[in-house]
Amino acid sequence: MTILDILAKRRDGQEHAAEELRFLARGAASGEIPDYQLAAWLMAAYLRPLSRRETADLTLALAESGRRFDLSDLPGPLLDKHSTGGVGDKTSLVLLPLLAACGVTMVKLSGRGLGITGGTLDKIESIPGFRTSLTLEEAKEQARRIGLALCGQTPDLAPADGVLYALRDVTATVGSVPLIVSSILSKKLAGGSPRVLLDVKCGSGAFRRTLPEAEELAVALREVGEQIGLQATPLVTDMDQPLGRAVGNALEVCEALEVLQGAVDNRFGGFCLRLAQRALSLCGLDADLARRAIASGSAWDKALRWIEAQGGDLAALRNGAGLPSAPETAEVPCGAEGWVERVDARTVGAVAMRLGAGRLHKSDRIDPRVGVEVLVEVGDRVETGQPAFRVHAATVADAEKAAGDLREALKVVPSPVPRTPTVLLEP
Ligand code: URA
């Protein structure tokens, strides 16, 4: 077998055998197949999409290109959670301690943010001292002790995906469903949990903008999961407006901690409970445990144990002044009275990124202090002059520019607008 045979097969739309996909993944991970041939294969695979069977085989091949993590000796039902990325999506920060408080064991390997979507690692690192550079062994040991661990994706986990993903990014081939599915599920498979809750975001702030696009991805994730022995449960959720009030790293941590302390009667808190309930049923546990864990304070206790275990400064958190905060703030008022029809997630995400909350390039530094508070939701009745956004910025000039740009994100109309659900589909 040569890479040329594999390239010609894909070009001509013939099916790959599993062994060919293993050859490709091994060659990508070892560097034996050069980037130009991998890039040619990616473009051919984009134009001639892989079948479900090929996608499953590619997923297995990518997972096997590196280390597969064995968590099977950990107690409790094991669960992983993945979001395809959105604006203000701090759900993992709530779900990890909440589900651990309910008896689920979670070892989550997370990424950093790029573009308008934030990364869980960047968010949690706004807690002073919090360490995400755990080895897999440390993460496992911590999960055995307290039920959860969060750490960065290690390079030895599905390394072939790392190579292919970087090439997809620069060859306009990110958007292929089979390539997305194999990329996401290979890392989940290598991460060692037998079940994964997949939050497929849909809307202007997500990379799947329409419901049919998001549904196509969700169904493919579930079906390929079944074929590779991973119980992948997708939900399609709204990302047309930002998720919750906070967009920006420290601001989002604050909002997540508030939910863990009982603030669930709001759009974001309700969303977290809904996902937690789905996750608990997936694990064969009583779905109502989530609500009880928040009400009893056990979810909050678990969050404190978790933050302490990973080196976070609890004293700073407890007195409320420990998270970094921006020196400048500015409010953006509603320009008219009426009902909020649109709070555009993409625009808010882009403003937050330009303030320094996200990265345009992988090497950019994050400013944990900055971001946007979204003070209105679709369906709200608003008065002229009522604040719609609060900008948190490093300088007055940044605050003013962001406030100006945010006006584009809001649309107020004269007649009532229905509220939009957070969970759009459970395919
Ligand atoms: N997330 C991934 O890990 N891979 C993709 O291809 C898309 C989103």
Answer for the pair 233, 271: CB distance below 8 angstroms, yes or no.
Answer: no
How would CATH label the architecture of 328-413? Alpha-Beta Complex (3.90)
Please identify which of the residues 183, 186, 193, 204 carries the catalytic annotation.
183
List, edge to edge, every strand of the sheet that includes 195-202: 80-83, 195-202, 231-238, 423-425
* Strand segments (E) across 173-245: 195-202, 231-238
Instruction: Tell me: pLDDT of 27 over 80.
Output: yes
User: What's the CATH code, domain 3-48?
Assistant: 1.20.970.10
**Count of C-beta atoms within a 10 Å radius of residue 220:** 21
Q: How far is the CA of 175 from the centre of ligand 1 (A)?
A: 9
Please identify which of the residues 82, 302, 346, 392 carries the catalytic annotation.
82
Q: Give the confidence band of 320 by pLDDT, cuts at 50, 70, 90.
A: low
CATH topology match: 3-48 vs 328-413: no
Q: Does residue 22 carry a catalytic annotation? A: no
Tell me the pTM. Answer: 0.95
Reference 272, options 118, 91, 120; nearest CA is: 91
In DSSP terms, 234 is beta-bridged to 198
Query: What percentage of the chain carries pLDDT values higher than 70?
Result: 100
Q: Does residue 183 carry a catalytic annotation? A: yes
CA distance readout (Å), 69 to 89, 186, 253: 26, 12, 28
The answer to whether the CB of 259 is under 6 A from ligand 1 is no
Q: Which of 46, 58, 84 to mutate to test the pocket of ligand 1 (most atoms within 8 A of CB)?
A: 84
pLDDT digits 0-9 by tens, 39-56:
999 999 999 999 999 999
The answer to whether the CB of 184 is under 6 A from ligand 1 is yes
127: CB partners within 8 A, 6+ apart: 253, 307, 312, 313, 316, 317, 322, 323
Secondary structure in 3-state letters for 235-298? EEEECCCCCCCEECHHHHHHHHHHHHCCCCCCHHHHHHHHHHHHHHHHCCCCCCHHHHHHHHCH
Cα first-last separation, the chain = 39
Q: Does residue 123 carry a catalytic annotation? A: no
Please identify which of the residues 80, 89, 161, 367 carries the catalytic annotation.
161
Q: Does residue 281 carry a catalytic annotation? A: no
Q: Does residue 182 carry a catalytic annotation? A: no
Please identify which of the residues 90, 168, 305, 390 carries the catalytic annotation.
168
Q: Give the confidence band of 318 by pLDDT, cuts at 50, 70, 90.
A: confident
How many alpha carbons fall within 13 Å on the CB side of residue 298?
14
Whose Cα sits closest to atom 7 in ligand 1?
A: 180
CA distance 179 to 186: 10
Q: How far is the CA of 369 from the centre of ligand 1 (A)?
A: 27
pLDDT at residue 356 in the model: 96
CA distance 392 to 409: 16
Q: How much is the average pLDDT of 182-211?
A: 96
pLDDT digits 0-9 by tens, 116-148:
888 999 999 999 999 999 999 999 999 999 999
Q: How much is the average pLDDT of 185-213?
A: 97
The answer to whether the CB of 183 is under 6 A from ligand 1 is yes
Lowest average pLDDT, out of 78-82, 112-116, 144-148, 260-264, goes to 112-116
CA distance 412 to 427: 32
Answer for the pair 355, 394: CB distance below 8 angstroms, yes or no.
Answer: yes
CA distance 184 to 9: 25
Q: How far is the CA of 94 from the centre of ligand 1 (A)?
A: 22
The domain segmentation of the chain, as residue ranges, is 3-48, 80-318, 328-413
Please identify which of the residues 16, 187, 208, 278 carries the catalytic annotation.
187
The answer to whether the CB of 197 is under 6 A from ligand 1 is no
How would CATH label the architecture of 80-318? 3-Layer(aba) Sandwich (3.40)
pLDDT at residue 361 in the model: 84
Q: How far is the CA of 183 from the centre of ligand 1 (A)?
A: 5
Question: Measured in whole angstroms, how far is the alpha carbon of residue 22 from the centre of its chain?
Answer: 28
- DSSP 8-state secondary structure symbol assigned to residue 117: B
